[in-house]
Structure 1
Amino acid sequence: MKLTKPNCIGSDISNLSSFCFCLFHVLPYINQAKYTYEEIMGYTGHAFHINVRVEAIDKWGPTMYDWDGVIPRGLHNLGLISKDIAYSGYHMEVPNVLNNSIALIRQSIDKGVPLIMWEPLGPEFGIIYGYNDESQSLYVIDAAIEGEIPFDRIGRGDDTPEFYVLSIDEVINRSPNDRIMGTLDLILKYGLTDAHDTWEFSTGLPAYDAWIIAFNNKKIDFYGNSFNIQVLKNARESAIGFLNKFKNEFIKEEEIELINQSKNSLIEAVKLINELELLFPYPTGGNPREDLIRDKAIQLLNDIKEKEKSALLYLKILRDNKICL
């Protein structure tokens, strides 16, 4: 059983947030193509995320965030109920995980809905759009590659032992107020504080402190540092676009003004991120261990953190005011 292949390769949608890239290309199959990429990034909270690996700021930071905490809640903000099968540190001996995931894949494809999977072809999210029981294989695609993989490839990527398969199971109606509150809660949880329960990664405003520590310790990964900057820039530019549309969900002038103030702070943050990008061009990465460049980068990271803190606090005031109504 094979669905029409998603139009991923050559898409003009950024895959720097590969989950949101995949979701954008899955939504038309459930008649939800009304959402722009910026709206998907915003309602799921990804536009306001920062997630870094504290030791070296390598390429894994932007992808190894709290999937179980972020993704179902973000989908719910879009009026989507999902089913997923996930297992960190997966190996073939874990009972039932592979068989259950194949059953979920068959069920979803038979309903006409592709699934999102971690690392079908490379270290990012991709899409499953078909299966072949005779050859025991899946038809998969991501932003750059397409192909067939055996059933037992799930959770056995070349780079990470992470098992994750997700299906959109149901579309529901959410009230505007529930969508607004759910979105603000998700943005603030992973924006203001470090929501990770592991020392290895840091998220929210504390992630900037971890980034600065890595610079001071001269442990910055050249490629990873420049990649993190690209992901951060894409996210915050998406956040600005999202807030431009999000304000249309409000009527009161004081609420719209809070969103505009948040957006203006993010515009200033993006200007600073652009300066950071000039220091560490992607993918070569510049020289993050040279003292003068390092000192400039640390100052920029501190300034970006303050602008983002301001943007998030405006949204926190908005959320707190909504509760009091």
Structure 2
Amino acid sequence: MSETTSKNWTKTWTTAAQAIHGAIAYTDKNHYSLVDVMGITGHAFRINIDPDHIDVAGPTMFPGGYLFRRNLCNLGFISNLSDAEKPFTPDKVEKVLALIQQAVDRGTPAITFDLFMPEFGLIYGYDDEKQLFHAKDVSKEGTISYTDFVEKRGMLWVTTISESLPHSKYETLRMALDMIVDHARGREWQHVFEGKYMIGLKGYDAWIACMERRGADPFGNAYNTAVVSDAREFAAQFLRELVVRWNGTNVVERTVRKFAAEAAAHYERTAAALVELRELFPFPQGGQPEDPDTAARAVDLLKTARDAEILGVDVLERLLGFMKAYWSEQWIH
């Protein structure tokens, strides 16, 4: 897969993971690469599809507080969350602003959403005199007034890192696999998005059905293709790196290497099919999902990606079962 081998592994279309990676760069866990973060948080393995027309909002429509706190826990952090829907009370606004300022004072950026565009980004500084935040997202770096930060959004949502915990690599991987498999099997808590978006392996089925009835929005479809294809390239790379890093000195290390190599082969096939899909539907132009021949080719590629991922998830589930059983045995003895 030539595109993957020349890929820039320091940037991703998944802005949730990009923001998390940016935040932890200011902590004792700054050795984690973006590939590590994409894998350990499970974002490399996510798919969140609007079944009606493959809406552009799909990749960011999930319960952010729940997911980000679990992501950060996997990476070894205790985190804080503040969220509120309009109308915001003065007390709530004060608490959110204080949470951001406390994080910045500790030296870590606050993770939030919809700063300069509806994607995840970071607030890394503030000026109380001028009532300004210094912020950055995928579209730009600049300032945003406290007033605009509060008033120009339907939800106040902020997650911050409060404390770093010592996690073993075994526990980190077990927690990551737990999250990856939960998502793939559709067991992840959806909150208000329940029934509106199809997650995990069912996401492929929803996407295929929308393509078959020619219902895909060209812009939204191209964006979802960009996000999910990029994510699966990261998934394959994360698994390949596990094979190299787990050195085989004990039974757990050898088992991780064996299963990771097997899963990587499946995810490489998934990524290859989705990269080809990306060429059919370039973002932002969108391609022609309504064209019968294009749609038929897209359906074939999505089925190839799904079928390979089904096999990959099976392998990861077996690895998770092994790690849980091994850990139970350690606790008993």
Contact 1:156 1:162 in 2 (8 A): no
Give 1:4's aligned residue.
Answer: none
| Structure 2 residue identity aligned to 1:264 | A
Q: CA RMSD in A?
A: 2.0
Give 2:214's aligned residue.
Answer: 218
Larger proportion of helix: 2
1:219 Cα deviation after fit: 2.0
Which residue, 64, 72, 76 being the options, matches 1:75?
Answer: 72
1:12 Cα deviation after fit: 7.7
Matching of residue 166 in structure 1 with residue 130 in structure 2 = no
Give 2:3's aligned residue.
Answer: none
Give 1:107's aligned residue.
Answer: 102
TM-score by length of 2: 0.87
1:61 Cα deviation after fit: 0.6
Give 2:123's aligned residue.
Answer: 128
1:166 Cα deviation after fit: 1.3
Rate the CA distance shift 1:243–1:155 in 2: closer, same or farther, 3 A: farther
Give 1:66's aligned residue.
Answer: 63
| Structure 1 residue identity aligned to 2:223 | F
Matching of residue 202 in structure 1 with residue 198 in structure 2 = yes
Contact 1:20 1:41 in 2 (8 A): yes
**Segments of 4+ in structure 1 off by > 4 A?**
none
Give 2:25's aligned residue.
Answer: 28
Looking at structure 2, the residues matched to 78 and 39 of structure 1 have their Cα atoms a distance apart, in angstroms, of 9
Rate the CA distance shift 1:236–1:12 in 2: closer, same or farther, 3 A: closer
| Structure 2 residue identity aligned to 1:47 | A
| Structure 2 residue identity aligned to 1:25 | G
1:95 Cα deviation after fit: 5.6
TM-score by length of 1: 0.89
Rate the CA distance shift 1:276–1:12 in 2: closer, same or farther, 3 A: closer
Looking at structure 1, the residues matched to 155 and 289 of structure 2 have their Cα atoms a distance apart, in angstroms, of 30
Give 2:330's aligned residue.
Answer: none
Give 1:140's aligned residue.
Answer: 135
SS in 2 for 1:55: coil
**Structure 1 segments unaligned to the other structure (5+ residues):** 1-10
Alignment of 1:280-295 (within 5 A): 280-295=281-296
1:43 Cα deviation after fit: 0.4
More displaced 10-residue stretch of structure 1: 135-144 or 116-125: 135-144
SS in 2 for 1:29: coil
Give 1:3's aligned residue.
Answer: none
1:203 Cα deviation after fit: 0.8
Rate the CA distance shift 1:156–1:175 in 2: closer, same or farther, 3 A: same
**Structure 2 segments unaligned to the other structure (5+ residues):** 1-7, 327-333
More displaced 10-residue stretch of structure 1: 20-29 or 32-41: 20-29
**Number of corresponding residues:** 311
1:303 Cα deviation after fit: 1.6
Give 2:261's aligned residue.
Answer: 260
Matching of residue 228 in structure 1 with residue 224 in structure 2 = yes
Give 1:116's aligned residue.
Answer: 111
